[in-house]
Copies of this chain bind each other. A is one copy, B any other.
Amino acid sequence: MRTRFGKFYAAATTGAALSIAAFGSQAGETAMNSKYIERVAPLIATNQNQWLENDLWQREALSSRDRSIVTLSALIARGQLDAMPEIVEKALASDVTPEEIAEIINHLAFYTGFANARASIAAIGPVYEAHDIKAKQLPSDKLELLSYDKKAEQQRREFVDSKYGEVSPGTVSYTTDALFMDLWLRPGLAPRDRSLATVSALAATGQVEQVNFHLNKAMDNGLTETEAGEVITQIAFYSGWPKAFSALPVFKEIFANRKE
């Protein structure tokens, strides 16, 4: 299994195509993808190897594990199903556990929409089946949830409630019950990584006006400035340069404010 796994990962680094070419109904798609690169835009294969596989993913500023979390979160946020098998292979090969991937998908169900999460599951499933992987993910009522700063949560709650409680009471109450009293307290994904997935999803979709809360939370939980800056570089290649350039001034201001 380990050998087979290694082989698939080696394949994955040259493109999703090969990495699951043997498994079920998605194989056609990804095999075609690689088959058609030569016919339609051969330079994409060259650039994928030159700039992404052999350069971006090798940079020390961010670990392969973090790059996998950033990229998978960006793909889920934008509904880019075709690229997920390759990135999930990278994630599994860089010690992101199936349980952590399940928590990322569940986290982004709330932060990018349940339809995004369910479409991602359909895209990732064949990879898990091929590796005979199954995530053991417990519902919240069977977990010991993380402790939290009661005073800070009380302040968040009062602020949001006073500001929007009359505008959309449902949104405000679910924000407390489903998100801050449940989702964010699940131990299956480190708070730092949960914030990293959230920040990546926001940057990938250009919703930078809401990065402040989550990037600060991530950095409070240990994400370094160097790592945060390199998240933008990863987003540039996977979500496009304009998304990166919309994130730069926001990240810059947050870095500066944290130094004051």
Q: Which residues of A contact B (CB under 8 A)?
A: 7-18, 25-33, 35-44, 46-48, 51-52, 56, 59, 61, 74-75, 77-83, 98, 101-102, 105-106, 108-119, 121-126, 128-129, 133-135, 137-139, 163-164, 167-171, 174-175, 178-179, 201-202, 205-207, 209-210, 229-230, 232-233, 236-246, 248, 251-252, 255
Contacts and interface: CB of A to CB of B under 8 A. Distances in A.
B237 A114 contact: yes
Given A8-B32, A29-B11, A40-B135, A115 B47 contact: no
A171 B40 contact: no
Nearest to A15: B122
B170 A114 contact: no
B35 A125 contact: yes
The 8 closest A-B pairs by CB, nearest first: A36-B125, A15-B122, A170-B233, A11-B28, A83-B115, A8-B28, A168-B229, A33-B122
Given A43-B137, A170-B59, A232-B168, A14 B242 contact: no
Given A14-B122, A25-B32, A80-B116, 6 more contacts: A11-B29, A36-B128, A41-B101, A44-B114, A113-B238, A175-B241
Contact of A25 (B28, B80, B109, B113): B28
A11 B27 contact: yes
B11 A25 contact: yes
Nearest to A211: B242
Contact of A29 (B46, B122, B138, B174): B122
A39 B118 contact: no
27 contacts: A8-B31, A14-B25, A14-B82, A32-B125, A32-B126, A36-B122, A36-B126, A36-B129, A39-B128, A42-B102, A42-B135, A43-B106, A43-B137, A44-B118, A47-B178, A52-B114, A56-B174, A61-B170, A83-B115, A111-B240, A113-B238, A164-B252, A167-B252, A168-B230, A168-B233, A168-B251, A205-B242
B39 A110 contact: no
Given A133-B39, A232-B171, A47 B106 contact: yes
Given A43-B106, A238-B114, A33 B170 contact: no
Contacts of A33: 118-119, 121-122, 125
Contacts of A210: 242, 245-246
A256 to B, nearest CB: 9
Contacts of A139: 43, 46
